[in-house]
Copies of this chain bind each other. A is one copy, B any other.
Amino acid sequence: MSETQSLSRIDADLLNALMEKVSEFGSTGDGGIDRPALTDAHRDARDWFRSELEARGYTVLVDAIGNLFGRIDLAGPEAPLVMIGSHLDSQPRGGRFDGAYGVIAALAAIETFRRDGGTPRCNYVIADWMNEEGARFQPSLLGSSVFAGLIELDWALGRRDREGRSVGEELVRTGYKGTDAAPRPDLYLELHIEGDAKMETAGARIAPFLRHWGALKVRIEVTGEQNHTGPTPMEDRKDAVLGAAYIIAEVRRLADVAEDTLFTSVARVDISPNSPNIVPGKAVLFCELRAPEPAMLDWSEASLRAALPALAAKAATRAEIVSIDRRPAGKFDPRLARLTERVADDFGLPRMQLDTIGGHDAVALNAILPSIVFAVPSVGGVIHRNDEYTSPEDLAAGGDVLTDMVRRIDRAGADLDLALGANA
Protein backbone atom coordinates (compact mmCIF):
# COMPACT_ATOMS: atom_id res chain seq x y z
CA MET A 1 0.00 0.00 0.00
CA SER A 2 2.96 2.34 -0.43
CA GLU A 3 1.10 3.67 -3.45
CA THR A 4 -1.72 5.02 -1.37
CA GLN A 5 0.00 8.17 -0.29
CA SER A 6 0.64 9.27 -3.86
CA LEU A 7 -2.80 8.35 -5.25
CA SER A 8 -4.29 11.01 -7.51
CA ARG A 9 -7.83 12.07 -6.78
CA ILE A 10 -9.95 13.74 -9.42
CA ASP A 11 -10.83 17.43 -9.11
CA ALA A 12 -14.39 16.70 -7.95
CA ASP A 13 -15.46 20.34 -8.18
CA LEU A 14 -14.52 20.43 -11.83
CA LEU A 15 -16.21 17.06 -12.45
CA ASN A 16 -19.43 18.20 -10.78
CA ALA A 17 -19.48 21.60 -12.46
CA LEU A 18 -19.02 20.05 -15.91
CA MET A 19 -21.67 17.38 -15.19
CA GLU A 20 -24.14 20.09 -14.15
CA LYS A 21 -23.48 22.04 -17.30
CA VAL A 22 -23.68 19.15 -19.77
CA SER A 23 -26.99 18.08 -18.21
CA GLU A 24 -28.60 21.31 -19.40
CA PHE A 25 -28.46 20.23 -23.06
CA GLY A 26 -31.67 18.38 -23.90
CA SER A 27 -32.85 18.56 -20.30
CA THR A 28 -36.38 17.22 -19.90
CA GLY A 29 -36.85 19.26 -16.75
CA ASP A 30 -37.22 16.20 -14.51
CA GLY A 31 -33.54 15.29 -14.22
CA GLY A 32 -33.55 13.41 -17.51
CA ILE A 33 -32.07 14.13 -20.90
CA ASP A 34 -33.50 13.89 -24.41
CA ARG A 35 -30.45 14.14 -26.63
CA PRO A 36 -30.46 11.51 -29.40
CA ALA A 37 -27.62 11.63 -31.88
CA LEU A 38 -27.43 14.66 -34.19
CA THR A 39 -30.46 16.41 -32.78
CA ASP A 40 -30.17 20.10 -31.96
CA ALA A 41 -29.71 19.27 -28.27
CA HIS A 42 -26.86 16.89 -29.10
CA ARG A 43 -25.22 19.49 -31.33
CA ASP A 44 -25.49 22.10 -28.58
CA ALA A 45 -23.88 19.76 -26.05
CA ARG A 46 -21.04 19.01 -28.45
CA ASP A 47 -20.55 22.69 -29.31
CA TRP A 48 -20.26 23.45 -25.63
CA PHE A 49 -17.88 20.58 -24.96
CA ARG A 50 -15.76 21.62 -27.90
CA SER A 51 -15.47 25.15 -26.50
CA GLU A 52 -14.42 23.69 -23.12
CA LEU A 53 -11.68 21.70 -24.85
CA GLU A 54 -10.45 24.65 -26.87
CA ALA A 55 -10.41 26.94 -23.85
CA ARG A 56 -8.06 24.48 -22.15
CA GLY A 57 -5.66 24.19 -25.07
CA TYR A 58 -6.84 20.93 -26.63
CA THR A 59 -6.77 20.54 -30.41
CA VAL A 60 -10.28 19.66 -31.57
CA LEU A 61 -10.60 17.11 -34.37
CA VAL A 62 -13.77 15.84 -36.06
CA ASP A 63 -13.53 12.81 -38.34
CA ALA A 64 -15.69 11.85 -41.31
CA ILE A 65 -18.30 10.00 -39.20
CA GLY A 66 -18.57 12.87 -36.73
CA ASN A 67 -16.52 11.53 -33.85
CA LEU A 68 -15.28 14.50 -31.81
CA PHE A 69 -11.78 14.34 -30.36
CA GLY A 70 -9.88 16.70 -28.06
CA ARG A 71 -6.16 16.02 -28.25
CA ILE A 72 -3.46 17.43 -26.03
CA ASP A 73 0.18 16.58 -26.56
CA LEU A 74 1.99 16.81 -23.25
CA ALA A 75 5.02 14.65 -24.02
CA GLY A 76 6.31 15.30 -27.51
CA PRO A 77 5.40 13.80 -30.87
CA GLU A 78 6.85 10.31 -30.26
CA ALA A 79 5.09 9.69 -26.94
CA PRO A 80 2.34 7.06 -26.61
CA LEU A 81 -1.23 8.27 -27.04
CA VAL A 82 -3.83 7.41 -24.40
CA MET A 83 -7.50 7.77 -25.36
CA ILE A 84 -10.32 8.19 -22.84
CA GLY A 85 -13.93 8.73 -23.79
CA SER A 86 -17.56 7.80 -24.13
CA HIS A 87 -20.51 9.59 -25.80
CA LEU A 88 -22.69 12.69 -25.40
CA ASP A 89 -25.76 11.33 -27.20
CA SER A 90 -28.59 9.90 -25.08
CA GLN A 91 -31.62 7.69 -25.46
CA PRO A 92 -34.96 9.48 -26.00
CA ARG A 93 -36.08 10.52 -22.52
CA GLY A 94 -32.89 8.95 -21.19
CA GLY A 95 -30.68 9.83 -18.24
CA ARG A 96 -27.92 12.37 -17.68
CA PHE A 97 -25.13 9.97 -16.71
CA ASP A 98 -25.13 7.33 -19.47
CA GLY A 99 -22.28 8.40 -21.76
CA ALA A 100 -21.88 12.00 -20.63
CA TYR A 101 -20.24 10.89 -17.37
CA GLY A 102 -17.50 9.08 -19.28
CA VAL A 103 -16.74 12.08 -21.50
CA ILE A 104 -16.80 14.62 -18.67
CA ALA A 105 -14.75 12.38 -16.35
CA ALA A 106 -12.14 12.00 -19.11
CA LEU A 107 -11.68 15.76 -19.28
CA ALA A 108 -11.67 16.22 -15.51
CA ALA A 109 -9.18 13.35 -15.07
CA ILE A 110 -6.73 14.67 -17.65
CA GLU A 111 -7.05 18.20 -16.29
CA THR A 112 -6.34 16.90 -12.78
CA PHE A 113 -3.35 14.95 -14.06
CA ARG A 114 -1.97 18.02 -15.89
CA ARG A 115 -2.14 19.97 -12.68
CA ASP A 116 -0.76 17.30 -10.31
CA GLY A 117 1.06 14.72 -12.39
CA GLY A 118 4.64 15.88 -12.77
CA THR A 119 6.38 15.41 -16.11
CA PRO A 120 4.04 13.62 -18.53
CA ARG A 121 5.27 10.70 -20.61
CA CYS A 122 2.13 10.31 -22.75
CA ASN A 123 -0.13 12.38 -24.95
CA TYR A 124 -3.90 12.30 -24.43
CA VAL A 125 -7.05 12.39 -26.47
CA ILE A 126 -10.64 12.60 -25.29
CA ALA A 127 -13.24 10.91 -27.53
CA ASP A 128 -16.92 11.79 -27.84
CA TRP A 129 -18.19 9.00 -30.10
CA MET A 130 -21.00 9.73 -32.56
CA ASN A 131 -24.23 7.78 -32.00
CA GLU A 132 -23.36 5.27 -29.34
CA GLU A 133 -27.00 4.78 -28.40
CA GLY A 134 -28.46 3.67 -31.71
CA ALA A 135 -31.80 5.19 -30.69
CA ARG A 136 -32.29 7.47 -33.66
CA PHE A 137 -29.96 5.74 -36.12
CA GLN A 138 -29.28 2.02 -36.10
CA PRO A 139 -26.96 0.36 -35.40
CA SER A 140 -25.57 1.64 -32.11
CA LEU A 141 -21.79 2.19 -31.64
CA LEU A 142 -21.82 3.75 -35.10
CA GLY A 143 -18.95 6.21 -34.72
CA SER A 144 -16.68 3.91 -32.74
CA SER A 145 -17.37 1.02 -35.14
CA VAL A 146 -16.32 3.12 -38.14
CA PHE A 147 -13.24 4.23 -36.16
CA ALA A 148 -12.34 0.60 -35.45
CA GLY A 149 -12.87 -0.40 -39.09
CA LEU A 150 -15.73 -2.74 -38.17
CA ILE A 151 -18.19 -1.08 -40.56
CA GLU A 152 -17.79 1.00 -43.70
CA LEU A 153 -17.93 4.80 -43.54
CA ASP A 154 -20.27 5.14 -46.54
CA TRP A 155 -22.69 2.60 -45.16
CA ALA A 156 -22.71 4.38 -41.78
CA LEU A 157 -23.33 7.78 -43.43
CA GLY A 158 -26.30 6.29 -45.26
CA ARG A 159 -28.16 5.10 -42.14
CA ARG A 160 -31.52 6.87 -41.88
CA ASP A 161 -33.80 7.78 -39.00
CA ARG A 162 -37.52 7.03 -39.18
CA GLU A 163 -38.18 10.35 -40.91
CA GLY A 164 -35.73 9.34 -43.65
CA ARG A 165 -32.91 11.72 -42.74
CA SER A 166 -29.46 10.21 -43.13
CA VAL A 167 -26.52 10.34 -40.75
CA GLY A 168 -24.55 12.13 -43.48
CA GLU A 169 -27.19 14.83 -43.93
CA GLU A 170 -27.56 15.34 -40.20
CA LEU A 171 -23.79 15.55 -39.70
CA VAL A 172 -23.70 18.36 -42.26
CA ARG A 173 -26.71 20.07 -40.68
CA THR A 174 -25.22 20.00 -37.19
CA GLY A 175 -21.71 20.97 -38.30
CA TYR A 176 -20.08 17.64 -37.46
CA LYS A 177 -19.17 16.30 -40.89
CA GLY A 178 -15.45 16.55 -40.26
CA THR A 179 -12.42 16.00 -42.45
CA ASP A 180 -9.77 15.36 -39.79
CA ALA A 181 -7.91 12.07 -39.58
CA ALA A 182 -8.87 10.25 -36.39
CA PRO A 183 -6.06 9.89 -33.82
CA ARG A 184 -4.59 6.38 -33.45
CA PRO A 185 -4.18 5.74 -29.71
CA ASP A 186 -2.25 2.98 -27.96
CA LEU A 187 -4.97 2.11 -25.49
CA TYR A 188 -8.50 3.13 -24.57
CA LEU A 189 -10.20 3.73 -21.21
CA GLU A 190 -13.91 4.27 -20.63
CA LEU A 191 -15.80 5.03 -17.44
CA HIS A 192 -19.55 4.36 -17.37
CA ILE A 193 -22.48 3.83 -15.05
CA GLU A 194 -23.65 0.26 -14.61
CA GLY A 195 -26.89 -0.74 -16.35
CA ASP A 196 -27.91 -3.24 -13.72
CA ALA A 197 -28.24 -3.45 -9.94
CA LYS A 198 -25.50 -6.05 -9.42
CA MET A 199 -23.02 -3.57 -7.93
CA GLU A 200 -25.63 -2.04 -5.66
CA THR A 201 -26.68 -5.48 -4.46
CA ALA A 202 -23.07 -6.52 -3.84
CA GLY A 203 -22.05 -3.23 -2.23
CA ALA A 204 -19.37 -2.73 -4.90
CA ARG A 205 -18.38 0.75 -6.03
CA ILE A 206 -15.98 -0.08 -8.89
CA ALA A 207 -16.31 -2.89 -11.40
CA PRO A 208 -14.21 -3.54 -14.51
CA PHE A 209 -16.03 -5.40 -17.26
CA LEU A 210 -14.12 -8.55 -18.13
CA ARG A 211 -16.18 -9.76 -21.08
CA HIS A 212 -18.69 -8.30 -23.47
CA TRP A 213 -21.62 -10.44 -24.47
CA GLY A 214 -22.39 -11.16 -28.08
CA ALA A 215 -25.53 -9.79 -29.64
CA LEU A 216 -27.61 -10.39 -32.72
CA LYS A 217 -29.75 -7.43 -33.74
CA VAL A 218 -32.33 -8.94 -36.02
CA ARG A 219 -34.76 -6.95 -38.12
CA ILE A 220 -37.85 -8.94 -39.08
CA GLU A 221 -40.38 -7.72 -41.61
CA VAL A 222 -43.90 -9.10 -41.37
CA THR A 223 -46.00 -8.57 -44.49
CA GLY A 224 -49.76 -8.86 -44.54
CA GLU A 225 -52.36 -6.98 -46.55
CA GLN A 226 -53.77 -3.54 -45.80
CA ASN A 227 -57.56 -3.52 -45.58
CA HIS A 228 -60.49 -2.04 -43.67
CA THR A 229 -60.94 -3.45 -40.15
CA GLY A 230 -64.70 -3.23 -40.60
CA PRO A 231 -65.96 -5.22 -43.55
CA THR A 232 -62.96 -7.47 -44.23
CA PRO A 233 -64.02 -10.98 -43.13
CA MET A 234 -61.87 -12.40 -40.35
CA GLU A 235 -60.85 -15.37 -42.49
CA ASP A 236 -59.57 -13.05 -45.24
CA ARG A 237 -57.41 -10.87 -43.01
CA LYS A 238 -53.66 -10.84 -43.32
CA ASP A 239 -52.84 -8.85 -40.22
CA ALA A 240 -49.16 -7.96 -39.91
CA VAL A 241 -49.54 -6.86 -36.27
CA LEU A 242 -51.10 -10.19 -35.35
CA GLY A 243 -48.17 -11.99 -37.01
CA ALA A 244 -45.84 -9.67 -35.11
CA ALA A 245 -47.59 -10.50 -31.82
CA TYR A 246 -47.00 -14.24 -32.28
CA ILE A 247 -43.32 -13.58 -33.07
CA ILE A 248 -42.85 -11.26 -30.06
CA ALA A 249 -44.23 -13.94 -27.75
CA GLU A 250 -41.92 -16.55 -29.29
CA VAL A 251 -38.83 -14.34 -28.94
CA ARG A 252 -39.54 -14.11 -25.21
CA ARG A 253 -40.20 -17.85 -25.00
CA LEU A 254 -36.75 -18.56 -26.43
CA ALA A 255 -35.14 -16.80 -23.45
CA ASP A 256 -37.35 -18.74 -21.05
CA VAL A 257 -36.52 -22.18 -22.45
CA ALA A 258 -32.85 -21.61 -23.32
CA GLU A 259 -30.50 -24.02 -21.57
CA ASP A 260 -27.89 -21.33 -20.94
CA THR A 261 -28.04 -17.54 -20.45
CA LEU A 262 -29.93 -15.76 -23.23
CA PHE A 263 -31.51 -12.30 -23.15
CA THR A 264 -34.10 -11.44 -25.80
CA SER A 265 -36.30 -8.49 -26.67
CA VAL A 266 -38.47 -6.89 -29.31
CA ALA A 267 -38.38 -3.26 -28.19
CA ARG A 268 -39.33 -1.41 -31.34
CA VAL A 269 -42.11 -2.23 -33.80
CA ASP A 270 -42.77 -0.01 -36.81
CA ILE A 271 -46.34 -0.61 -37.96
CA SER A 272 -47.75 0.54 -41.28
CA PRO A 273 -50.06 2.36 -41.56
CA ASN A 274 -50.78 2.12 -37.78
CA SER A 275 -54.29 3.50 -38.16
CA PRO A 276 -57.00 2.19 -35.77
CA ASN A 277 -59.30 0.96 -38.55
CA ILE A 278 -56.90 -0.41 -41.15
CA VAL A 279 -55.73 -4.00 -40.97
CA PRO A 280 -51.95 -3.38 -40.86
CA GLY A 281 -50.09 -4.36 -44.02
CA LYS A 282 -46.61 -4.30 -42.53
CA ALA A 283 -44.78 -4.52 -39.23
CA VAL A 284 -41.02 -4.31 -38.78
CA LEU A 285 -39.70 -5.84 -35.57
CA PHE A 286 -36.38 -4.84 -34.03
CA CYS A 287 -35.36 -7.97 -32.16
CA GLU A 288 -32.28 -8.47 -30.00
CA LEU A 289 -30.71 -11.74 -28.93
CA ARG A 290 -27.83 -11.42 -26.44
CA ALA A 291 -25.68 -14.05 -24.76
CA PRO A 292 -22.20 -14.42 -23.25
CA GLU A 293 -21.65 -17.68 -25.14
CA PRO A 294 -21.57 -17.80 -28.96
CA ALA A 295 -23.28 -21.20 -28.92
CA MET A 296 -26.41 -19.70 -27.36
CA LEU A 297 -26.56 -17.00 -30.01
CA ASP A 298 -26.33 -19.65 -32.70
CA TRP A 299 -29.09 -21.68 -31.04
CA SER A 300 -31.38 -18.68 -30.64
CA GLU A 301 -30.89 -17.57 -34.23
CA ALA A 302 -31.57 -21.07 -35.56
CA SER A 303 -34.63 -21.44 -33.32
CA LEU A 304 -36.04 -18.10 -34.42
CA ARG A 305 -35.49 -18.88 -38.09
CA ALA A 306 -37.18 -22.24 -37.69
CA ALA A 307 -40.20 -20.76 -35.91
CA LEU A 308 -40.86 -17.74 -38.12
CA PRO A 309 -42.74 -19.29 -41.07
CA ALA A 310 -45.39 -21.00 -38.95
CA LEU A 311 -45.85 -17.98 -36.65
CA ALA A 312 -46.36 -15.69 -39.62
CA ALA A 313 -48.63 -18.16 -41.38
CA LYS A 314 -50.86 -18.34 -38.29
CA ALA A 315 -51.84 -14.75 -39.14
CA ALA A 316 -51.85 -15.42 -42.90
CA THR A 317 -48.74 -13.23 -43.20
CA ARG A 318 -45.15 -13.72 -44.27
CA ALA A 319 -42.11 -12.97 -42.11
CA GLU A 320 -38.62 -12.37 -43.36
CA ILE A 321 -35.36 -11.58 -41.60
CA VAL A 322 -34.19 -8.53 -43.53
CA SER A 323 -30.94 -7.85 -41.67
CA ILE A 324 -28.81 -9.09 -38.80
CA ASP A 325 -26.19 -6.95 -37.11
CA ARG A 326 -23.78 -9.34 -35.39
CA ARG A 327 -21.73 -8.32 -32.35
CA PRO A 328 -19.36 -11.13 -31.40
CA ALA A 329 -18.71 -11.92 -27.75
CA GLY A 330 -15.22 -11.09 -26.46
CA LYS A 331 -12.88 -10.17 -23.61
CA PHE A 332 -11.50 -6.78 -22.65
CA ASP A 333 -7.77 -6.39 -22.00
CA PRO A 334 -7.08 -8.33 -18.78
CA ARG A 335 -4.17 -6.07 -17.80
CA LEU A 336 -6.42 -3.00 -17.88
CA ALA A 337 -9.03 -4.90 -15.85
CA ARG A 338 -6.37 -5.85 -13.31
CA LEU A 339 -5.10 -2.26 -13.17
CA THR A 340 -8.63 -1.01 -12.49
CA GLU A 341 -8.91 -3.46 -9.61
CA ARG A 342 -5.48 -2.56 -8.26
CA VAL A 343 -6.34 1.14 -8.15
CA ALA A 344 -9.76 0.49 -6.63
CA ASP A 345 -8.12 -1.58 -3.92
CA ASP A 346 -5.60 1.15 -3.20
CA PHE A 347 -8.46 3.62 -2.76
CA GLY A 348 -10.18 1.10 -0.49
CA LEU A 349 -13.19 0.96 -2.81
CA PRO A 350 -15.17 -2.31 -2.73
CA ARG A 351 -15.11 -3.84 -6.19
CA MET A 352 -16.41 -6.72 -8.24
CA GLN A 353 -16.07 -8.16 -11.72
CA LEU A 354 -18.80 -7.83 -14.33
CA ASP A 355 -19.54 -8.62 -17.92
CA THR A 356 -21.17 -6.01 -20.07
CA ILE A 357 -24.28 -7.06 -21.90
CA GLY A 358 -25.15 -3.74 -23.47
CA GLY A 359 -22.84 -2.30 -26.09
CA HIS A 360 -20.21 0.26 -25.18
CA ASP A 361 -17.85 2.10 -27.48
CA ALA A 362 -15.04 0.23 -25.70
CA VAL A 363 -16.42 -2.98 -27.26
CA ALA A 364 -15.73 -1.58 -30.74
CA LEU A 365 -12.35 -0.16 -29.70
CA ASN A 366 -11.35 -3.47 -28.09
CA ALA A 367 -11.33 -5.05 -31.55
CA ILE A 368 -8.18 -3.11 -32.46
CA LEU A 369 -6.39 -2.00 -29.28
CA PRO A 370 -6.18 -2.72 -25.53
CA SER A 371 -9.41 -1.38 -24.07
CA ILE A 372 -11.43 -1.45 -20.89
CA VAL A 373 -14.69 -0.10 -19.62
CA PHE A 374 -15.30 0.03 -15.91
CA ALA A 375 -18.40 0.99 -14.00
CA VAL A 376 -19.73 2.82 -11.00
CA PRO A 377 -23.21 1.89 -9.67
CA SER A 378 -26.49 3.33 -10.90
CA VAL A 379 -29.20 3.46 -8.21
CA GLY A 380 -31.61 0.59 -8.73
CA GLY A 381 -29.73 -0.42 -11.87
CA VAL A 382 -31.74 2.14 -13.81
CA ILE A 383 -30.36 3.18 -17.18
CA HIS A 384 -31.90 4.63 -20.36
CA ARG A 385 -34.54 6.34 -18.26
CA ASN A 386 -34.97 9.88 -16.99
CA ASP A 387 -34.60 8.86 -13.33
CA GLU A 388 -31.18 7.27 -13.87
CA TYR A 389 -29.07 8.35 -10.87
CA THR A 390 -25.53 7.97 -9.55
CA SER A 391 -24.52 9.76 -6.36
CA PRO A 392 -21.82 12.48 -6.40
CA GLU A 393 -19.70 10.20 -4.16
CA ASP A 394 -19.80 7.38 -6.67
CA LEU A 395 -19.15 9.76 -9.56
CA ALA A 396 -16.08 11.03 -7.72
CA ALA A 397 -14.92 7.50 -6.83
CA GLY A 398 -15.02 6.49 -10.49
CA GLY A 399 -13.20 9.68 -11.37
CA ASP A 400 -10.53 8.98 -8.73
CA VAL A 401 -9.87 5.53 -10.16
CA LEU A 402 -9.70 6.91 -13.68
CA THR A 403 -7.33 9.70 -12.65
CA ASP A 404 -4.97 7.38 -10.82
CA MET A 405 -5.05 4.91 -13.73
CA VAL A 406 -3.95 7.77 -15.96
CA ARG A 407 -1.14 8.60 -13.56
CA ARG A 408 0.11 5.01 -13.45
CA ILE A 409 -0.22 4.42 -17.18
CA ASP A 410 1.56 7.68 -17.88
CA ARG A 411 4.40 6.88 -15.55
CA ALA A 412 4.82 3.51 -17.30
CA GLY A 413 4.82 5.22 -20.71
CA ALA A 414 1.62 3.33 -21.53
CA ASP A 415 3.39 -0.03 -21.04
CA LEU A 416 0.64 -1.96 -19.28
CA ASP A 417 2.86 -4.73 -17.95
CA LEU A 418 5.10 -2.08 -16.48
CA ALA A 419 2.13 -0.16 -15.06
CA LEU A 420 0.96 -3.31 -13.29
CA GLY A 421 4.44 -4.41 -12.21
CA ALA A 422 5.35 -1.15 -10.59
CA ASN A 423 2.36 -1.51 -8.31
CA ALA A 424 2.64 -5.26 -7.72
Which of B226, B271, B358 lies in contact with A231, CB distance below 8 A? B358
Asked if A115 is at the interface (CB within 8 A of a chain B CB), the reply is no
Instruction: Give this chain's copy count.
Output: 2
Q: Of all chain B residues, which has the CB nearest A247?
A: B245
By the criterion of a CB under 8 Å from any partner CB, how many residues of chain A are at the interface?
66
Q: Of all chain B residues, which has the CB nearest A355?
A: B231
* Complexed CA–CA distance, A134 and B278 (Å): 10
Q: Taking A230-B357, A249-B249, A385-B226 as contacts, is the C-beta distance between A276 and B269 under 8 angstroms?
A: no
Is A234 a contact of B269 with CB atoms below 8 Å? no
Q: Taking A228-B195, A230-B359, A385-B226 as contacts, is the C-beta distance between A134 and B242 under 8 angstroms?
A: no
Is B358 a contact of A230 with CB atoms below 8 Å? yes
* Complexed CA–CA distance, A233 and B334 (Å): 25
Task: Give every chain B residue within 8 A of A196 (Cβ-Cβ).
Answer: 231-233
Q: Of all chain B residues, which has the CB nearest A271?
A: B269
Within 8 A of B (CB), among A368-422: 381-385
Which of A52-60, A163-171, A259-267 faces chain B?
Answer: A259-267
Within 8 A of B (CB), among A197-253: 213, 215, 217, 226-234, 237, 239, 241-242, 244-246, 248-249, 252
Q: Of all chain B residues, which has the CB nearest A258?
A: B234
Task: Give every chain B residue within 8 A of A280 (Cβ-Cβ).
Answer: 267-268
Asked if A102 is at the interface (CB within 8 A of a chain B CB), the reply is no
* Complexed CA–CA distance, A104 and B340 (Å): 76
Show 13 A/B contacts (Cβ-Cβ < 8 Å), sorted by A: A91-B278, A133-B275, A134-B277, A138-B276, A229-B358, A230-B357, A231-B356, A231-B383, A242-B249, A242-B266, A244-B248, A267-B280, A269-B274
By Cβ-Cβ distance, the 5 closest A-B pairs, closest first, are A230-B358, A245-B248, A195-B231, A276-B286, A196-B231
Binding site for B on A (CB under 8 A): 91-93, 133-135, 138, 140, 194-196, 213, 215, 217, 226-234, 237, 239, 241-242, 244-246, 248-249, 252, 255-256, 263-271, 273-281, 286, 288, 290, 315, 356-359, 381-385
